[in-house]
Structure 1
Amino acid sequence: MSVQSGQQYAARSVPLGTPAVRVEGLTRTYGTDRRRITALAGVDAAFLRGTFTAVMGPSGSGKSTLLQTAAGLDRPTSGRVWIGDTELSGLSETRLTVLRRDRIGFVFQAFNLIGALTVEENILLPARLAGIRIDSGWLAHVVERVDLAERLAHRPAELSGGQQQRVAIARALAMRPEVIFADEPTGALDTQTAAEVLGLLRSLVDEHGQTLVMVTHDPVAASYADRVVVLADGRIVRDLPQPGADRIAEQLASLGRRRVTREV
């Protein structure tokens, strides 16, 4: 397999700067009328193609719920979600499953690898389940990009945590998705390994035009993003372009002080 350039293999041939994901009036509530919890309270947001967005907020702010509903993993109570030009609310579960498989990549804190499979088999699993053959040049490029060329025959138990997360990233990239959703992708990694993984994610945006939406609690991780969206009580309360780790931490601390003041 020959390794091709990142320019040849962009995420998908779609215009940069247009929304890869858009949500409108997004609400999500849980529980019964007597004890109802509002996780999202009318969120409007767009995530542009070829950009890296970090979603942050205090515990219970709705950030993971936003990711899950935007990715089609959970249905909103009300409001609408688009992946590209496709509106999700009218899709059956079968069509939604196909859309997630073909157009969305996922990276989680838990690597979700299958221990009985090799690295290569884990990377190719979504395509094989879909009956799709991955272009050999693209596969070679992905494997080289995540620095796993010498590990393809290994199993997850033989890899470090950082290498396992690289397998998960390669698996997400294999289908050449329109957008990758990442939920605390460095939460289980040490500081140095986390920096390496974040650098890799940043390069996928810069070199491939990949779209990335990442939930994180870490200001340093968020500083790799082009934009930081901060949620509190199910609403977007800050939308910060390239703020840097210090300003992110300051904004989060400010939110914490306001919550304490309200409670007192």
Structure 2
Amino acid sequence: MDTAEDVRLQSVTKVYGTGPGAVRALRGVDLELPAATFTAVMGPSGSGKSTLLHCAAGLDRPTAGSVWLGPVDLAGLTEIELTELRRSKIGFIFQAYNLINALTVEENITLPLRLAGTKPDRAWQAEIVRQVGLAERVRHRPSELSGGQQQRVAIARALITKPAVIFADEPTGALDTRTAAVVLDLLARLVRTLGQRVLMVTHDPVAAARADRVVFLADGRRAGDLVRPTPDEVAERMTKLGKW
């Protein structure tokens, strides 16, 4: 994984609306996502977690500050260029798997490439299918899979373009505890074995504790980090954020 593709947020501010009713969702947030790192973001409801993810992923433009993917400042890109960058350099995993039931597992995984008009790297495709443990399921339809297997299809789909970074928004929110642990183990393994960058927004202290680092937000500001914390340490910090 190329360190030249590190993601950097510099003094990112996001304001929705104008005048007295304006909402300051982010207030000067700095964050860096180097290669081979798994970062979780936590905070109370309304703290700016989703806005941070959307700005970092180029889905929303900051009101002030900058977001960099390697040498590229996302603010300087047109909407078409942003779409192309997201398609080629960014992978997304959501709580809803967003799979197409009419397509097989293999077709769902390779869909981003077909939309971009490019052919899959068959060796890479075989590798990620093996990594997510779906080699025996590529001809199945999503309706024939468990929830955990469907989320693993979504992870493979996020990886197929060899993205610089993967953004995960509550990726285990719809899964039971045991299946969630399998998915989180998979994300952690992808960081270790492929040098992937993963930024995960979650409300679950157990999920957050699987990351290398937990970044806390409160009232749109960065409110501290924990490195390789236990779930209890994450939960304790969360209880204090309301007073932050």
**Structure-1-length-normalised TM-score:** 0.90
- Aligned pairs for 1:127-206 within 5 A: 127-206=113-192
- Aligned equivalent of 1:105: 91
RMSD: 1.2
SS at match of 1:193: helix
Matched, 1:239 2:225: yes
User: Is 2:5–2:164's contact at 8 Å kept on the other side of the alignment?
Assistant: no
Q: Which of 54, 64, 81 pairs up with 2:67?
A: 81
Report matched runs for 1:1-264 at 5 Å: 12=1, 14-15=2-3, 20-256=6-242, 258=243
- Alpha-carbon separation, structure 2, partners of 1:160 and 1:198: 16
Q: In the alignment, residue 82 of structure 1 is paired with which amino acid?
A: W
Quick check: 1:19–1:46 contact (8 Å CA) kept in 2?
no
TM-score, normalised by the number of residues in structure 2: 0.97
Q: Look up the SS of the partner of 2:118 in the other structure.
A: coil
Q: CA deviation at 1:247?
A: 0.7
How far apart are the structure 1 equivalents of 2:109 and 2:129?
Answer: 9
Q: Which structure 1 residue ranges, 5 or more long, are not aligned?
A: 1-11, 260-264
Structure 1: distance between partners of 2:22 and 2:183: 38
C-alpha distance in 1, partners of 2:34/2:226? 14
Contact 2:208 2:231 in 1 (8 A): yes
- The 3 A distance-change label for structure 1 pair 180 and 126 is same
Distance in 1, Cα, partners of 2:152 & 2:31:
29
In the alignment of these two chains, the number of paired residues is: 244
Q: Secondary structure at the match of 2:99?
A: coil
Structure 1 residue runs of 4+, over 4 Å off? none
- State the distance in 2 between where 1:46 and 1:35 align: 31
